[in-house]
Amino acid sequence: MKFRTFKYNIIRAIKVINHAVNAETMKMLGGILIDANAPDMVELTAYSNDIKIKYYVHADVEQKGTVVCNPKYLMNISKGENMEVIISTDKDNVIEMKIGTYKQKWQGTVAENYPKISMPECNNELMLEQERFREILTKTVPFAAPTVGYRPQYNGVLFDIKNETLHNVSTDGKRMAHITTPVGTYGNMSFVITLPAAKELCRIESENPLLRIVVDNTNMRLLLDYSEFIVVASTFNENGYVKYDNMMNRESDITATVKRAEFMQMIERGKFVSEQGKTKVPVTLELKDDVLKCNGRNIRCQLKDEIDADIAGNIKIGFNADFLMDMIKTIRSDNVVLELKSQKDALIIKDGDTELLLLPVIV
């Protein structure tokens, strides 16, 4: 195998792959697959348990071939001008890389048993801005889909298109995030990206502004076409996923408007007091007479804090401080509107196209 390309192409490809696939998985497979079997293109392929990525590198292929390579050696390229890189292998899979007067050799491995990416069938497809896709995952994954969830069967991000609107939902049974995006005249479709795949997709960035998402419901897979590379991610069927419509659409009897920065600082202090060894003690919010109070205690100390708020109604209610902090961090607005109904009903916070829900705890 022998091909020529430029330093930027190699550095860019390895950077994307390293963000997408964890190092332990690449170590088990021996590295990444380099496939130089097209005249003007080299494919770099990497796997994890939940996603597969194939990066297309523009190159002048002089001799076809394949090899599995540890990517850290490809990154051993000095910074500087975008010089030509020549990569070749011999019959023993020894890889040689030349850049000007610089030369480096290392041992590769045979590519015969490296898993190949098979292309998903196209049941449906969706075009979405890449930045918006990452924003959706960034907002939903940390808030409502933890690694160890209360209901593991829900651990993923729902993509549900209805009436020209994309609804994204994630939940662990105690809290929920719901984001809406207008998408135009697409037919109804629904799928769930698994939580591990969604976490890895959060880290992927492309220079192409648009992302083509091909849905393969037959084989529970998803093809994400970033133009310069493709990603295949695992999904599962949306049947049995929580019915989010009924949970979000309700009338709230009690509201409180507070400044986000002040509210965050107060909950941060309450979070500190709520930590009692391995046990999390809930904090109590009390809404009354345009004052929002926060009370918390553990075996060593007690917290009483308050901030000004524009309040309609009265209530005293408890929450997990960690979950409440995650909720506030997701909000971008300067002011936060808390919507409540009773001590047994969830807290709802709305911020533009984002709705967040958190169930209370007994205090």
One-letter amino acid for residue 327 of the chain: M
Q: Which residues pair with 169 in a beta bridge?
A: 158, 178
Give the single-character DSSP code of 243. -
Q: Angle at CA 110, nearest 5°, toward 104 and 115?
A: 120
How confident is the model over 101-153, as pLDDT tens digits? 889 999 999 998 888 887 788 878 899 999 999 999 999 987 766 544 445 45
* Token pair 């075009």: residue: 127
Q: Say how many C-beta atoms besides its own lie within 10 A of residue 251's C-beta.
A: 6
**Burial class, 212, CB count within 10 angstroms (exposed 0-12 / middle 13-18 / buried 19+):** middle
Can you say whether the dihedral through the CA atoms of 238, 126, 348, 274 is positive or negative?
A: positive
How confident is the model over 247-263, as pLDDT tens digits? 776 788 999 999 999 99
Give the single-character DSSP code of 361. B
Residues 6+ positions from 163 with CB-CB distance below 8 Å: none
For residue 238, the model assigns a pLDDT of 66
For residue 149, the model assigns a pLDDT of 45
Residue ranges of the chain with pLDDT lower than 50?
A: 147-150, 152
One-letter amino acid for residue 188 of the chain: N
Taken in order of first residue, the domains within the chain and their CATH numbers are 2-107 (3.10.150.10), 125-245 (3.10.150.10), 250-358 (3.10.150.10)
pTM of the model: 0.86
Cα separations (Å) of 294 from 60, 264, 271, 303, 343? 65, 11, 10, 8, 15
Residues 6+ positions from 137 with CB-CB distance below 8 Å: 157, 198, 201, 202
Q: Which residues pair with 275 in a beta bridge?
A: 280
For residue 25, the model assigns a pLDDT of 66
Q: Angle at CA 20, nearest 5°, toward 1 and 322?
A: 165
Q: How many residues does the chain have?
A: 363
**Rounded CA separation 203/19 (Å):** 6
**Rounded CA separation 33/15 (Å):** 15
**DSSP 3-state helix, strand, coil percentages of the chain (rounded to 5)?**
20, 45, 35
**DSSP secondary structure string for all residues of 156-189:** EEEEEEETTEEEEEEE-SSEEEEEEEE--SPPPE
Query: Structure tokens of 240?
Result: 């049995």
Residue 332 CB-half CA count within 13 A: 8
Cα separations (Å) of 255 from 251, 285, 320, 338, 341? 11, 13, 19, 5, 9
- State the Cα torsion 145-191-220-198 to the nearest 10°: -30
How confident is the model over 2-23, as pLDDT tens digits? 999 999 999 999 988 887 777 7
**Rounded CA separation 125/223 (Å):** 9
For residue 278, the model assigns a pLDDT of 65
Q: Are 327 and 175 in contact (CB under 8 A)?
A: yes
